[in-house]
Structure 1
Amino acid sequence: MSVLSALVTATRSGSVEVIDLTTPLHESTPILELPAPFANTSRFRLEELSRYDDRGPAWYWNDIHTGEHTGTHLDAPNHWVTGRDGVDVSQAPMGLLVAPVVVIDMSREVEGDPDFLLEVAHIEAWQAEHGPLPEGGWLLYRTGWEARGGTQDEFMNADEAGPHTPGVSAECARWIAQSSPLAGFGVETVGTDAGAAGGFDPPFACHHFLMGAHKWGLTSLRNLGRLPATGAVLVVCPLPIVGGSGSPTRVLALVET
């Protein structure tokens, strides 16, 4: 039996489970909201063209209105000024889109501190237990934040001081970008940066360092609690938007049961 035939057989038998890590898209899907005077992305919206009526008697279809960075989405290197000379989302390498993935779970720490930051020491402790990070693969950061994804207010968790959402420290972002073998980093929150990252040095350090190192980001992921710490394969399916800085993305994981 060929490798691909074996994979199909495994998914049908259940010995390999396909887990959807994607946030469904609808008008209330939480999005990043920037303060004035900055421009904001569009919310997802369907515009009906016909529905078995005089506009089209036998078919139903819609236009879609959305931003590149709405819902679960992929950040390309050219998304940030530090990666402005990097590739766009249509040029994502196939080795990035189907790649090994590992998960670091800090949900217990985040439960007690919504501003919790991942540090290099946390990743080093993870590696001491689970082994090295995958060359050219993904690190997904589980925080339990997906439980807040029902409303914009819960997901952004903002007060007069700004949003309070977990992320990574500036030092950790630099390490992931410049010292790790990873090709990408994914989170459950609305962006790869912490809610307080506008005050970091540099501001929005995860974007600054990852995009500057021509690495990739994934956001608004779900079901990370169903993945093992190691051993899964990530399948990332963005739209190949020529010139695009990102794309809404279906993200799947293949997990041996």
Structure 2
Amino acid sequence: MSTLHPHPGTLAALADALAHNDVETVDLTALLSESTPVLPLPSGMAPIPHFALEELAKYDDRGPTSYQNGIHTGEHVGTHFDAPCHWITGIEHGDVASVPTSRLVAPAVVIDKAAEVADDPDFLLDVDDILRWQKKFGPLPRGWLLYRTGWASRSHDQALFLNADEHGPHTPGLTSECARWLAEESPIIGLGVETVGTDAGQAFRFDPQFPVHSHLLGAGKYGITQLQNLDQLPPVGAVIIVAPLRIVGGSGSPARIIALIERESSKETKN
């Protein structure tokens, strides 16, 4: 016969907070449809297929009581998860099916550079930006660093989202040194961005090319892209749940990503 504990544990406290609406859930996931922007790859690389539904039955002679579709998509479409084996540097660090669940539920912090990106779409986050942020908010966690740029406001339109001209896409990202520092010297387990990929639009010109992919995935860390609603998260104090499909051999997967934050009204009550 089980005995109830007189004092609730951590999970019981979380369940109670959710039940009493003291914890808010924020969906960080973009809608996934045929109009979801997809990154065009350079000549010589296989293109990423757009998302599409194939209707299989809709309450008709194919299935009078059911509605169902086939799904056709690339792994790296919409809000998605990058596994280490997505990049050649991370080939030894595993596919999306082998990611430990402990890394899919973790604390998250937000660095906000939306004002800088509004003035310069090619803005690059550098190590000094992170060091200044740490002086104000504390050290980075063993969790996720979410990089807010305001780019999510463009995600409804492919051309606006990619912001490309004859010199290629112009979207914000990280310097090569910042990517290396996050991979080798910080405790984070992954980086989340609002843009179509974790690297800057001009990262094909960097050394190494696409340094976030090269350094972070090469260090066994992860990426999540095309996030929404980062403006609703505090700089510190959120927890995120990252839920990619467990695809055997997969280099990544579309994902549903949810943040848990404490409601302001709950904070005021405690104070």
TM over 0.5: yes
* 1:139 correspondence with 2:145: yes
| Residues 82-93 of structure 1: pairs in structure 2 closer than 5 A | 82-93=89-100
Superposed CA offset, 1:7-53 (max 9, x none): 23322322100100001100000111112221111111110000000
* 1:250 correspondence with 2:231: no
* 1:3 correspondence with 2:13: no
Give the alignment partner of residue 61 of structure 2, picking from 54, 60, 64.
54
CA RMSD across the alignment: 0.9
Task: Tell me the residue number matched to 2:189.
Answer: 183
Q: Which runs of 5+ in 1 are unaligned?
A: none
Displacement of 1:2 in angstroms is 4.1
- Count of residue pairs the alignment pairs up: 256
Task: Tell me the residue number matched to 1:197.
Answer: 203
Task: Tell me the residue number matched to 2:25.
Answer: 18
**Structure 2 CA distance, aligned partners of 1:35 and 1:175?**
27
Task: Tell me the residue number matched to 2:102.
Answer: 95
**Structure 2 CA distance, aligned partners of 1:162 and 1:192?**
16
Displacement of 1:114 in angstroms is 0.1
Task: Tell me the residue number matched to 2:268.
Answer: none
**Structure 1 CA distance, aligned partners of 2:13 and 2:58?**
41
**Structure 1 CA distance, aligned partners of 2:238 and 2:25?**
10
Q: Structure 1 stretch 6-15 or stretch 103-112: which is displaced more?
A: 6-15
Q: Which runs of 5+ in 2 are unaligned?
A: 1-7, 264-271
**Structure 1 CA distance, aligned partners of 2:19 and 2:53?**
33
Q: Which amino acid in 2 is paired with 1:186?
A: G
Instruction: Give the SS at the match of 2:93.
Output: coil
**Structure 2 CA distance, aligned partners of 1:4 and 1:210?**
31
**Structure 2 CA distance, aligned partners of 1:193 and 1:11?**
35
Q: Which amino acid in 2 is paired with 1:5?
A: A
Q: State the 4+ residue runs in structure 1 displaced beyond 3 angstroms.
A: none
**Structure 2 CA distance, aligned partners of 1:219 and 1:95?**
20
Q: Which amino acid in 1 is paired with 2:75?
A: E
**Percent identity of equivalent pairs:** 59
Give the alignment partner of residue 115 of structure 2, picking from 100, 108, 113.
108
Q: Which has the larger radius of gyration?
A: 2
Instruction: Give the SS at the match of 1:85.
Output: helix
Q: Which amino acid in 1 is paired with 2:48?
A: T
> What TM-score does the superposition give when structure 2 sets the normalisation length?
0.93
Task: Tell me the residue number matched to 1:230.
Answer: 236
